[in-house]
Structure 1
Amino acid sequence: MTLDLPSLEEAAQEALDAIEDRCTQMTSLLKDVQHKRLEEATGRAVLRQHAHSVKGLAASIGVNMIKVLAHRFEDYLESADHLEGRVLDECQVFIDRISEALEGNLNATPQQIAAFCRRLPAKGSFEVEDVEIRDVELMLVMTEGAATHFVTRELAECGYRIVNVRSTVDALALAAQMRPDLVIVSNYMPELTGIDFACALSVMPSTQGIPVALLTSEKRGHPKLDGLPDTVPIVSKSARFADDVADVFSSLGIL
């Protein structure tokens, strides 16, 4: 007796069909929340589950465009403390972009993915009403915690478009696909230290040219910063944080 195993093409199509189903379910869920048929907290939790599922499905078949979009949606939802008004509309934008990618952007280049990401709603726009959102993409690589929430909010209040990544290993792959204008990495990370990450980012062919800055309370020359390239700027964990970030962007000619 032999088992009929699905071909790679069939398995990939099944994953794409599952992603399409998740998009349909998420759109229906948003309508349920909008019409008060589902509580906001429950809706947000289920949306995050669906977004995480889409990210995993896309990663399993190597569709980087959808994997990145799903990560951005999951990250957006993590910062949304309510689902109403503009936030509902922006959630639908994420779902529409994933559906759009399903229709013809499965083999997108990193440059195309980066351009697609800049069409997404900016995280934090629902909290900081009076801030003009800049066309500046910033990836923040820090573990979960109060410090991360503080730094994220500080950056949002400056109008930057932010994506949070909790793992330096994940950040290496996502940076290559998203092509952010700047990556800020904490030096204290569980997999690769911030210094190791900065060194790797600067030598990998897929990420060469992406600027990176180290977030630390230490000053350059401290023994804990041994190995940090002179070309990697330091962003201080202090009252100067926002000024340091602006200085880095200014030196890059972005601001």
Structure 2
Amino acid sequence: MSLPVADDALADAESFADALAGRGVSLSLLVRPVGPEGPLAPRARLAGWLRERRSGGDVLVLHGYDHSRRPLGPQHRIRRAEFSALPAHEATLRLAAARWVMERAGLDTTSFTPPGWRASPGTLTALAARGFAVCADEGGVHLLAAPVAGPVRSRLLGFETGPRGPEAMCGRLLIAKAARTARCGGLVRIAVRHDDLRRPERRNAVLGAVDVALGHGATGATYDSITTAALAA
């Protein structure tokens, strides 16, 4: 279960984290080092909450740097998500800046998720070179420090990645997909956004998906624990 965190949504994140803790499920918290409010370190309340959650079993995942978008080219108006099209040398520079901000806040991590859930080949190369252990994208989980071929395939579930339609129908589809994946012994990955937590139907559907996955034998995991299990295998 992954959740981006921000100052203006901290109360919603706290409530949701408590609901998951009651189910024995930890969160992978996606941390944006530099946001509209500025670098992370001076934002004491958010940084303190993240340190508290980490000490309680949640994990921190570096979520890009500042989420600035990159143009496809000088003749294009379309812009791609940060890290989705970067060559290795540019990704290395952004990763170095991001880790510096995280270290100043006492929140360094070796897990990474790109904005938009899309990582370029150059980004994967840069992550491995800088000692990152895992990169989670839309198609699966890349175990950068484990001797495995290719990523652990796992489709990302969530309202942003699912079909458009009435809230109730989308919620039922989310629960059904989580149940099907868990029954097959697959990795159930659910991405939650701030907006989802502020909509009761979506929040309840996410918790329903967690409950049905647990009912089919799934156990709570974070991106760090997936990497640890792969290294021990």
TM-score in same-fold range (> 0.5): no
Tell me the TM-score normalized by structure 1.
0.29
> Comparing both structures, which one devotes a greater share of its residues to strand?
2
Higher RCO structure, 1 or 2 (CA under 8 Å, sep 6+): 2
